């Protein structure tokens, strides 16, 4: 492979890396939400896979059944994080034109998880 070709590949890789960083920064500003228990618990997460907020309707708070509330919170949080990851996967697929680029499949690694 010639030096010119290698240089061109390096420039393309750098451009891809810069675009990925831009997408990650934008995704960190976007939020998605998921609910559980018919909307009794709502979790909001951002594109950096961080939970931003959790809302719990007062009607679901029952000191006699804390386990149910815990399960609803876990379900809502997992749903929100799943939506955030799916959104990031879609952005990366757009960036790579649908190509399976090694290292891009592990989105958790991109967010420091």
Q: How many CA atoms lie within 13 A of 28 on its CB side?
A: 10
- What pLDDT does residue 99 have? 63
Domains present along the chain, CATH in parentheses:
3-110 (3.30.1310.10)
> Are 47 and 82 contacting, i.e. CB atoms less than 8 angstroms apart?
no
Cα distance from N-terminal residue to C-terminal residue, the chain: 36
- Note the pLDDT tens digit of each residue in 63-107: 999 999 999 999 999 999 999 999 888 887 887 776 665 555 444
> Are 27 and 19 contacting, i.e. CB atoms less than 8 angstroms apart?
no
> Are 27 and 18 contacting, i.e. CB atoms less than 8 angstroms apart?
no
Mean pLDDT on 41-65: 94
- Note the pLDDT tens digit of each residue in 30-40: 999 999 999 99
């Amino acid at each position: 492979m010639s030096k010119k070709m290698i240089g061109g590949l390096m420039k393309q890789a750098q451009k891809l890396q810069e675009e990925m960083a831009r997408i990650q920064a934008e995704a960190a500003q976007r939020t998605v939400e998921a609910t559980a228990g018919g909307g009794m618990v709502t979790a909001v997460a951002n594109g950096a896979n961080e939970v931003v907020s959790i809302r719990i309707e007062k009607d679901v708070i029952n000191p006699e059944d804390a386990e149910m509330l815990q399960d609803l919170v876990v379900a809502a949080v997992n749903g929100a994080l799943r939506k955030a990851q799916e959104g990031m996967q879609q952005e990366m697929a757009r960036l790579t034109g649908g190509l399976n680029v090694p290292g891009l499949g592990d989105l958790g690694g991109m967010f420091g998880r």
